[in-house]
Structures are given as C-alpha cells and as structure tokens.
C-alpha cells in the first residue's frame, strides 16, 4: 500500500495499523494525518510506547495518557482512583495515536481498551475512539522482566479480533537506495539471511567511511549500551582544546511533567560544546535546514548570540537556534523545554537511534542482546557503503520468529484491504490536485505557527536578553542581588536582567541549589513581615 491510500483510509475514520519496514515513511504519514485531523477540529491524543518516540511526535506516553502508569494489571477499583482530569481527556479524545507499537505488551493494549470503554461508557473497542497504531514488529519487541507479567506483541491482545484494524503496510522505500543493502535488510525481515548476506556485512568490518563524510569529519558510532556511549562522548570532547560553551535548558510547566519530558527527550539540561565537536541534530527543522539525525561539526559560534554554527555533512552551514519540545496530553500542554537541538554525536545508543536517518555510521553489534536490535541499527543508514561495522554477533542478525509470522499475516491482509479501499484513491488524487492548484492552502497550517525567529523577536519585546548567553558580569550581579536581597522576587530580577523568568530560575538553581527560588520568596516574605 502507498502513503496516499493509507492517509485516505485513516481520514475516513477507520481504525488502522500503520506498518512497514524502516524508511517506508510511517512517521511522515502519521504526522500528515495528525496535521489534517487537527485542522478538522478533531481532538487527537498523540502517544507512543516510549517517551523518546512520544517527544518526536509532540505527545505523551500511552501509559500516562491512559493512567495505567507502570501497572501490569488494572486494580478492581481503578475507576475510583482515576483523576477527573484524566477522565476528561479520555472522554474528549476523538483519535488516539500509539506509535512504536512493537514495544507495547498485548495485555497493556487490553488495559487501555478496558479503561476507555468504562470511562466513555461505550462497549466497543476503545470506547469508540478511532485508534491508529504505528510501528514495525521487526524492531525492538516488548521487554519482559522476570519479576513482572509476561506478554507478547499487541496482535495477541484479547481486543485485537474485535478491534480488527485496517492494515496499511507501506511498501515504498524512502531511505535506502542501494540494491545490495536492501537485499540484506529484506533477507533479515524474511528470516532468510544467507552466507552471501553475511559476507557482504563482514566486508564492512572496519570499513573506511572517509569518502562519505567531509574531510576531517567523523561518523557516529552506534552502541548497544549507554555506558559505552557516555564514555566515548565525554572522552572525545575532553580531548579537544579550546573554550567550552554552555547552553542551559529553559522549561515551563509543573516539575513532575518537566521531569517526564526531560527523561523522554534527547535534549540536554546543559549542553557543552567546543569548536570541532561532532554533533547530531535531534529534531527536524521546520524550515528543513536539518533533520533529526543530521551530522555535522561545530565550526564557530555566532558572536551576537553565542549560538553554535554547525557545518553539516551535506556541506550546509547552519546557525543552531533553540528549539522547543512539548509534553502534550491531548490538546493540553503539560510542559515544554527549549534548548539548542544538538547533542554530542561521537556515539549514540541503538535504542535512541530509532527513527533517525544517519549520513554514515560505525556500528558495534558485538553485544547485541535482543532480536531486532541489529535490524534497527543497520537500517539507520541509506547505503551499505555508509556503514562500517566494529563487530557483529549472531543475535544481531536474528529476527523474532513470531514477528516473521505476524509480518506474513499483515502483508496478506494489507493487500486485501488495499483492494477493498482502492476507490478512496480518487479522493486522494483530487486533494493532491487541489493543493497543487492552491499550494498556499496546504502550507497555511505550517505558516500559522511562525518561525523561531518570529517567536524570539516577540519574546524580546518583553525580555530583551532572552536566549542570549549569560556573561560573567551578569552572573556576578545576579549572585550579588540574591545574596544581598536587592531583589525580592524572580519577577523583579527579570526586569533587572531583561530575561525570561525560567532563565532566571535556572541560573539561580545553578549557583544556589534547587531551593534557590523558594528561598528567594521566603526572603521576600520575611522582609514584608519586618
């Protein structure tokens, strides 16, 4: 099935499982459907099985949306313990998106179904909410721990047969353009890795990538465990001579939601960079200047703002301005963070690379420990000659036997569903023709949000120094004001320094600890009482 037909089926209001191999455009289709649904006034709850996947879509985890949290089963009186705000969100939801569905246990899908039915008082799958599941069962599977309830893929859920989603299996390939590499990935997906495939991969052990990255540049390393990634990145940055430049995260929202968003996002609380650092973009640019996974090198820092200037491997130079990530619960924004959308890229984990397209990668699969991990890692690059292997074990080439059987069934049903809904293609072609005649209408929703530059300019009408680097003189002045009680509130300090309250709070906490803002208000109360 192609993307246009899948979008029409989803727009018709059908429950859908959107699936297909890495690089087939699942995320693009999902984002386009969300955009169209919201433009029609639909209440769309965007969720995923992991916080990282949720932030890519600007949503929340399915565990948080449904209220199940980390529970393995519903409490008999769970309805009594469900907060009113949670009930209101579930009742208001028209469309529920669940991304990275391969990692959701079957019993948890049943838990979400039961909650939705009871809260909405409708005895049909998910209480009548249109549900769009998205993911690839060949990627990372549900994690079963010895001390918890055991489960499997969502197709084994009790609700699955009644739910009966339309299967939109995307066949087109938008990432890989190398026939040999596609053959290897396809062989892995069919459980038919032959000697020639293994030999082609082994030829990439310690392969030279210099032809595929700029002179003096480097490729990102993918590792299976965090400890290797942290060690490599910190060591490589330390070995670079030159001044360090720091960028602090700004946040809005309650502490609980902010912490959840921080854990779910690749953005760092304090980003430390030096000239010469290898970096990775961790968000798609609205202006398409860079993409999530784009690699480059810090070549300079803008004098007026101190923003890093990055030369991407594509050859383009980009000044990296702060981006915003949001934690949304349906239409409600619970928290947001703003930070330069970069992180050090000498190394990254396979898990965090999901959804990325890398220009080139050096992959260490010697310690691959779960089926599907090798497929996720290898499919991040476009071509075989963009890949260099540090090493590989047998587990890295394995795909779940259950995933293989599920895939066969999904392909068959997708072919049947494509034939059944083929008449909807006329609607897709008509819409495409209309947008071609009037391109402004299709771009209006994107333009309405405004660029970061516009938002920054508006913010600086109230806070002239917003997102400008703190100078040593300003730091000394802030410490003096806090210590001597010259300012009684954060609001007073924003006037003195021309900065956003969030920036003032972060700076105070850095110098005086987490309780600095509370301490400031206590000082104000004492002064008022005196």
Q: pLDDT tens, 237-259?
A: 999 998 999 999 999 988 888 88
Same domain, 332 and 191: yes
Same domain, 222 and 346: yes
Please state the separation of Cα 88 from the chain's center in Å: 26
Under the banding of pLDDT at 50, 70 and 90, the label for residue 470 is confident
**Could you tell me if residue 192 is inside a domain?**
yes
Same domain, 136 and 274: no
Tokens of 296: 């480059």
Tokens of 164: 């009966």
* pLDDT tens digits, 37-75: 998 889 999 998 876 666 666 677 888 888 887 677 787
Integer Cα distance of 246 and 242 in angstroms: 13
**Could you tell me if residue 485 is inside a domain?**
yes
**pLDDT number for residue 417:** 94
Q: Name the range with the highest mean pLDDT among 74-83, 296-305, 479-488, 508-517.
A: 296-305
Q: Which residue has the higher pLDDT, 515 or 173?
A: 173
End-to-end CA distance of the chain: 74
CB 334 within 8 A of CB 262: no
Same domain, 99 and 76: yes
- CA distances (Å), 511 to each of 358, 435, 479, 517, 520, in order? 38, 53, 8, 11, 13
**Could you tell me if residue 205 is inside a domain?**
yes
**Could you tell me if residue 450 is inside a domain?**
no
**pLDDT number for residue 525:** 56
**pLDDT number for residue 214:** 63
Q: Which residue has the higher pLDDT, 409 or 455?
A: 409
What's the whole-number mean pLDDT along residues 337-341? Answer: 92
Same domain, 370 and 418: no
Strand order in the sheet with 342-344: 317-319, 308-312, 295-301, 278-281, 342-344
Same domain, 55 and 110: yes
- CA distances (Å), 58 to each of 88, 248, 323, in order? 20, 21, 12
Kindly report each contact of residues 141-146 with a partner whose C-beta sits within 8 Å and lies 24 or more positions away, as own/partner. 141/102, 141/103, 141/370, 141/371, 141/372, 141/400, 141/403, 142/102, 142/103, 142/104, 142/105, 142/106, 143/103
Q: Which residue has the higher pLDDT, 5 or 355?
A: 5
Tokens of 169: 């299996």
Tokens of 450: 């405004």
Same domain, 303 and 318: yes
pLDDT of residue 451 exceeding 70: no
> Furthest-apart CA pair in the chain: how many Å?
83
* pLDDT tens digits, 82-141: 778 888 889 999 999 999 898 899 999 999 999 999 999 999 999 999 999 999 898 777
Residue 488: how many CA atoms within 13 Å on its side-chain side?
8
Tokens of 70: 């980390």
The proportion of the chain whose per-residue pLDDT surpasses 70, expressed as a percent, equals 88
Integer Cα distance of 384 and 390 in angstroms: 14
Under the banding of pLDDT at 50, 70 and 90, the label for residue 447 is very low
Integer Cα distance of 126 and 95 in angstroms: 10
**pLDDT number for residue 109:** 95
473: containing domain? 464-529
**pLDDT number for residue 125:** 94
* pLDDT tens digits, 260-305: 788 767 788 999 999 999 998 888 777 778 877 778 899 999 998 9
Integer Cα distance of 414 and 423 in angstroms: 15
What's the whole-number mean pLDDT along residues 3-10? Answer: 92
**Could you tell me if residue 346 is inside a domain?**
yes
Same domain, 108 and 239: no
**pLDDT number for residue 445:** 44
- Considering 397, 422, 450, which residue would you say is the last residue of a domain? 397
- Considering 348, 368, 397, which residue would you say is the last residue of a domain? 397
**Could you tell me if residue 217 is inside a domain?**
yes
**pLDDT number for residue 439:** 62
**pLDDT number for residue 25:** 85
Residue 207: how many CA atoms within 13 Å on its side-chain side?
23
**pLDDT number for residue 210:** 81
Under the banding of pLDDT at 50, 70 and 90, the label for residue 33 is very high
What DSSP element (H or E) covers 133? strand 130-134
Q: Which residue has the higher pLDDT, 199 or 178?
A: 199
Give the ranges where 93-248 is alpha helix by DSSP (H): 106-120, 160-163, 179-189, 195-202, 226-238
Dihedral of alpha carbons 4, 10, 15, 20, sign: positive
Q: Name the range with the highest mean pLDDT among 129-138, 359-368, 376-385, 452-461.
A: 129-138
Same domain, 486 and 424: no
Per the structure, the count of domains in the chain is 3
Output the 3-class SS for 79-94: HHHCCHHHHHHHHHCC
- CA distances (Å), 27 to each of 100, 153, 280, 366, 446, in order? 10, 20, 19, 29, 17
What's the whole-number mean pLDDT along residues 200-215? Answer: 83
Integer Cα distance of 7 and 429 in angstroms: 12
Cα 173-384-283 angle, rounded to 5 deg: 60
Tokens of 333: 């924004």
Integer Cα distance of 493 and 501 in angstroms: 8
Same domain, 360 and 491: no
Question: What average pLDDT does the chain have?
Answer: 84
Look at the chain and count its residues.
Answer: 530
- Kindly report the CATH number assigned to the domain that includes residue 143: 3.40.50.300
Same domain, 423 and 349: no
What DSSP element (H or E) covers 16? strand 16-19
**Could you tell me if residue 384 is inside a domain?**
yes
Same domain, 187 and 331: yes
**Could you tell me if residue 457 is inside a domain?**
no
Integer Cα distance of 530 and 524 in angstroms: 10
Tokens of 297: 């090198």
Region of poorest pLDDT, from 299-303, 406-410, 491-495, 502-506 = 502-506
Dihedral of alpha carbons 178, 180, 181, 186, sign: positive
CB 148 within 8 A of CB 108: no
pLDDT of residue 444 exceeding 50: no
CB 159 within 8 A of CB 131: no
CB 296 within 8 A of CB 313: yes
Integer Cα distance of 350 and 332 in angstroms: 31
């Amino acid at each position: 099935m192609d993307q246009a037909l899948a979008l029409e089926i989803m727009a018709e209001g059908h429950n859908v499982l959107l699936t297909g191999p890495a690089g087939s455009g699942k995320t693009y289709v999902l984002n386009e459907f969300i955009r169209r649904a919201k433009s029609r006034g639909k209440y769309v709850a965007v969720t995923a099985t992991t916080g990282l996947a949720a932030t890519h879509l600007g949503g929340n985890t399915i565990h948080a949306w449904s209220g199940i949290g980390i529970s393995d089963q519903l409490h008999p009186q769970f309805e009594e313990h469900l907060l009113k705000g949670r009930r209101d969100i579930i009742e208001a939801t028209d469309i529920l998106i669940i991304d990275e569905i391969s990692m959701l246990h079957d019993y948890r899908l049943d838990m979400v179904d039961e909650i939705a039915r009871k809260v909405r008082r409708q005895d049909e799958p998910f209480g009548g909410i249109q549900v769009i599941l998205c993911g690839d069962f060949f990627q990372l599977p549900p994690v079963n721990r010895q001390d918890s309830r055991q489960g499997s893929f969502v197709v084994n859920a009790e609700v699955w047969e009644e739910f009966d989603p339309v299967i939109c299996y995307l066949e087109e390939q938008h990432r890989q353009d190398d026939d040999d590499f596609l053959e290897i990935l396809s062989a892995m997906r069919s459980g038919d890795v032959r000697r020639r495939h293994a030999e082609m991969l082994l030829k990439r052990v310690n392969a030279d990538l210099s032809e595929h990255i700029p002179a003096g540049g480097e490729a990102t390393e993918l590792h299976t465990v965090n400890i290797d990634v942290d060690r490599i990145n910190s060591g490589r940055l330390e070995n670079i001579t030159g001044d360090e430049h720091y960028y602090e995260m700004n946040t809005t929202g309650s502490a609980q939601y902010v912490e959840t968003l921080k854990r779910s996002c690749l953005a760092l609380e304090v980003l430390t960079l030096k000239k010469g650092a290898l970096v990775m973009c961790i968000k798609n640019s609205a202006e398409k200047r860079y993409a999530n996974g784009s690699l480059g090198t810090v070549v300079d820092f803008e004098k007026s703002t101190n923003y890093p200037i990055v030369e991407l491997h594509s050859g383009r130079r980009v000044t990296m301005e702060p981006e915003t990530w949001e934690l949304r619960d349906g239409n409600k924004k619970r928290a947001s963070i703003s930070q330069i959308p970069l992180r050090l890229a000498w190394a990254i984990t396979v898990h965090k690379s999901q959804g990325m397209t890398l220009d080139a990668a050096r992959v260490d699969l010697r310690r691959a420990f779960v089926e599907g991990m090798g497929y996720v890692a290898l499919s991040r690059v476009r071509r075989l000659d963009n890949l260099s292997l540090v090493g590989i074990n047998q587990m890295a080439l394995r795909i779940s036997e259950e995933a293989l059987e599920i895939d066969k069934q999904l392909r068959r049903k997708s072919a049947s569903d494509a034939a059944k809904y083929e008449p909807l293609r006329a609607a897709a072609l008509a819409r495409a023709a209309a947008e071609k005649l009037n391109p402004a209408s299709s771009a209006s929703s994107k333009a309405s949000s405004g660029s970061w530059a516009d938002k920054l300019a508006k913010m600086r009408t109230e806070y002239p120094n917003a997102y400008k680097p703190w100078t040593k003189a300003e730091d000394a002045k802030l410490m003096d004001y806090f210590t001597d009680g010259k300012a009684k509130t954060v609001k007073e300090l924003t006037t003195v320094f021309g900065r956003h309250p969030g920036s003032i709070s972060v700076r105070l906490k850095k110098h005086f600890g987490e309780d600095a803002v509370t301490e400031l208000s206590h000082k104000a109360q004492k002064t008022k009482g005196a």
